[in-house]
Amino acid sequence: MTALATSRRPWPRFDPDLRELRAAAVAMVAVLGSWASALLLEHVTGIAIVLVVAVVLPVTLSRTQRDSDGRRRLVALVALPLIAAVSVEVGRVMVRHPDVGELLFAVAVSGSIWVRRFGPRVARAGGLVALPFIALLVTPVPPDQAAGAGALGGALVALIAIVWVNGTQLAAIRLRLLERPVALGTGRGGAGAGGAAGQPSAAGPAGGATQARPAAAPATTTPRRLPASSRMALQMAVALGIAFALGRWLFPAHVSWVVLTAFIVCSGNRGREEVAHKSGLRIAGAAVGTIAATLLSGLFPVGDPASVAVIFAVLAVATWLRAASYAYWAGSVTAVLSLLYGYYGEAAGASVLSERLLAIGVGAAVGVAVSWLLLPVRTSDVLRRWTGESLAALSDLLATLGDPDAPDGAIARAAGRFERTVERLRQLHGPLRSHRAAVRLRNGHEPPYPADVVEALERILPHVRAVVAAAPEAAGLDRRALGRLRQATGAARRGLAGRGDGERPADPPGATADPHLAALQQQLAALVTLCSGLGARYAPRRPPEPPRDDGSRSASV
């Protein structure tokens, strides 16, 4: 019926509607198509192509392009081959002149983060830059072979990958296997009304969603605080520089292992707790993957096609389970690399895999140290910003439900925006839950905890789904109750910004005959209390600027 009207099914909690499983299946179709097309092109034309890149690129593109609209897909189609050609030339420089090549690599990757300050369109284009560069790092063939394909081969591989990813995803959307992308930052109340500097937006006098503040508003800029994009770019540049230096010193044959992990830990920085949590997951997953890879080592002879089939099977499972935890992905990639080493005739024994695990640990330590010590970002700031945007989307949805003149499809679009904002908040739940457990263990800190807010919004979702599902059939929802719900949403937003003074909705939760609206009122009343407590505890003296979400997914491998 709408984006939120989904039935409950007895499947794992991380993928209750099998959306991630469908996305993984579509991604693997793109991966297989890209690999087969690149193989055929190399055979017919004789152009040297690194086939592993034809697999790596569609795997990452399937994640980053999943929520892209037509314009973003067109930009990727044009820009990615050009970026890939440049990345291949940088790879050649890294082989011949390591110091210069590594500097160019760090500048390109960190520069793709810095350009986010110029708006969402530039940020999305910049997000494509890292993909071909990172693909060079994960290619388990000698560097001279990786660079020997040439700019033409790199551009053709990128073109093949983006055509397959765009084609399969658009077909899947048309067949309703994937959801149609919904923008986060559109709508009457402005789901993106969190402010340009990350200040949680407050509701107006009526408690409803307000329009986004003008760009010149004094509260959105602070002269002494670097923009989030600049801070994250500096963190990435420093982390990559240290990783290259340590990698060349400690692991001269596998520098990329250290660099890749440092990139993954620092990319998409959502705060110190999130960085530490992600590094722990990567190390844990790599440790388990090392054990599995040791068992797989030597099972297949060099060039055995059966190992290729196993590689794709492991990638398919890993792509699905990544929605549950990054640890599954990290472990699966370690096992895949072991099979690739064997396929290309390189040693993949226990010593090599243990060296990989140690290199991953070094790279993770570099990423955590830089993210914590150099211009750090507080996870609580990111939580407050994204929660404010989720509440703004909810207020917009409630206003649309109470508007008898709302155009066709307006409820579905508003519901989709709210669902997306809550889904984005789930990205913080793992590190915040670990932080809550650590705080309780250390000093028995009293609630509320930041993780409680994410869980409260997840508890609200089923009641919102029920209201949205009933809206088209109902003669008319209780508009007074909807108004009180918007007031409660506004109170939660003011509390989150540190201006709530512990307020609660004036009307009792059960002041409506509609059971769904009454249940939603109860949940919102609890959320107001949580947001007021967190706002009083974490509200900064200066408006925070956590990293803006440009709508793209993490491109880490």
User: Which residues does 87 contact at the CB level (< 8 Å), separation at least 6?
Assistant: 108, 132, 133, 135, 136, 154
Q: Is a pLDDT exceeding 60 seen at residue 348?
A: no
pLDDT band at 473 (very low <50, low <70, confident <90, very high): low
- Identify which of 462, 450, 460 has the alpha carbon closest to the alpha carbon of residue 496: 450
Q: Calculate the dihedral angle through the C-alpha atoms of 98, 103, 109, 110, rounding to the nearest 10 degrees.
A: 150
- What mean pLDDT do residues 526-538 have? 83
Q: pLDDT value at position 182?
A: 61
Q: What does the H/E/C string look like for 363-375?
A: HHHHHHHHHHHCC
Give me the mean pLDDT over the 213-218 stretch. 36
Cβ atoms 258, 250 nearer than 8 A? yes
Chain center to CA of 487: 31
What's the pLDDT band for 149 if we cut at 50, 70, 90?
low
Number of separate helices (H) and strands (E) present in the chain: 20, 0
pLDDT tens digits, 89-109: 888 888 889 999 999 999 999
Nearest CA among 545, 475, 500, 460 for reference residue 228: 545
Give me the pLDDT at residue 277, please.
Answer: 87
Is there a contact between 386 and 421 (Cβ–Cβ < 8 Å)?
yes
**Tell me, what's the pLDDT at 399?**
87
Q: Is the pTM of this model over 0.85?
A: no
pLDDT at 210 over 70: no
By mean pLDDT, which of 141-145, 263-267, 399-403 is the weakest?
141-145
* Helix spans in 302-402 (H): 305-321, 326-343, 350-373, 379-401
Tell the burial category of 144 from Cβ atoms under 10 Å away from its Cβ (0-12, 13-18, 19+).
Answer: exposed
Residue pair 499/487 in contact by the 8 Å Cβ criterion: no
Mean pLDDT of the chain: 78
Residue 551 has phi, psi (to 5 degrees) of 85, -5
Q: How many CB atoms lie within 10 A of CB 22?
A: 18
SS3 label, residue 480:
helix
Summarised one tens digit per residue, pLDDT across range 421-470 is: 998 888 888 888 887 887 777 766 667 788 888 999 999 988 888 888 87
- Is pLDDT at 552 greater than 60 in this prediction? no
Every domain of the chain and the residues it spans: 17-179, 229-377, 379-538
